[in-house]
A and B are shown apart, each in its own frame.
Chain A
Amino acid sequence: DIQMTQSPSTLSAFVGDRVSITCRATQSVNGWLAWYQQKPGKAPKLLIYKVSTLESGVPSRFSGTGSETDFALTISSLQPDDSATYYCQQYNSYPLTFGGGTKVEIK
């Protein structure tokens, strides 16, 4: 199984800050890496897939980078609506696996 590790587990920043979340896989996921946003009491929402492709309707302040085993989600200018937990996920092989999540808080 491919294990996914995210860091940090919690991130606190000001509105307008640039923030990044990292995600590391235990083996190459061949670019099949997605990011989801989850707000309290809600289902996850797909933000980015195939490392860097933005899902339709997702603000352009979100971006994804990386390759092989190391990936990052960056929010270029943090907004109040971005307060949520973010998960990376590999869909290269089964079982599909998620990172442990990063909770983003607004100071």
Chain B
Amino acid sequence: EVQLVESGGDLVQPGGSLRLSCTASGFTFSTSLMHWVRQVPGQGLMWVSRINAGGTTIIYADSVKGRFSVSRDNAKNTMYLHMYSLTTDDTAVYYCAKDRGGDLIGLWGQGTMVTVSS
């Protein structure tokens, strides 16, 4: 079964850091372009970042550029989202997602909740 499982969501104080993980199974992760998308509870979806299969080309939304960093370990079938200098505006459910080709997001994980609050 093709599956993405996020983990690492937590309650963190403003200015803090957190690392999310996304573990893939059921497909060839090492050849798959991947995305992070977030959603404030009760609100819409916001694309956060995209990383290519080799981890060499990464694109970020302006709102997270310089504060978030995406990486991947293809040997572990895992992608990471490193978040720094967190603000209350970063409070959201974070989804990892698999690209279907041509930048189309095809498969989503179940999401992990990040709460930034003092």
B84 close to A (CB within 8 Å): no
Which residues of chain B from 75 to 101 have any CB-CB distance to chain A below 8 Å in the complex? 95, 100
Please state if B44 and A32 are interface contacts (CB–CB under 8 Å). Answer: no
Please state if B108 and A43 are interface contacts (CB–CB under 8 Å). Answer: yes
Q: Classify chain B: how many residues form its interface, as a range.
A: 20 to 34
Question: Per-residue 0/1 for B34-72: is the Cβ within 8 Å of any A Cβ (1 yes, 0 no)?
Answer: 010000000011110010000000010110000000000
Question: Per-residue 0/1 for B100-112: is the Cβ within 8 Å of any A Cβ (1 yes, 0 no)?
Answer: 1011111111110
Given A32-B103, A34-B104, residue A43 in contact with residue B44 (CB < 8 A): no
Question: Per-residue 0/1 for A82-105: is the Cβ within 8 Å of any B Cβ (1 yes, 0 no)?
Answer: 000001010100111111110000
Question: Per-residue 0/1 for A33-48: is the Cβ within 8 Å of any B Cβ (1 yes, 0 no)?
Answer: 0101000001111100
Q: Count A/B pairs, Cβ under 8 Å.
A: 53
Which residues of chain B have C-beta atoms less than 8 A from A55's C-beta? 106
Residue of B with least CB distance to A97: B47
Given A34-B104, A95-B62, A96-B105, residue A43 in contact with residue B47 (CB < 8 A): no
Cα(A66)–Cα(B117), bound, Å: 42
Interface of B toward A, CB cutoff 8 Å: 35, 44-47, 50, 59, 61-62, 95, 100, 102-111
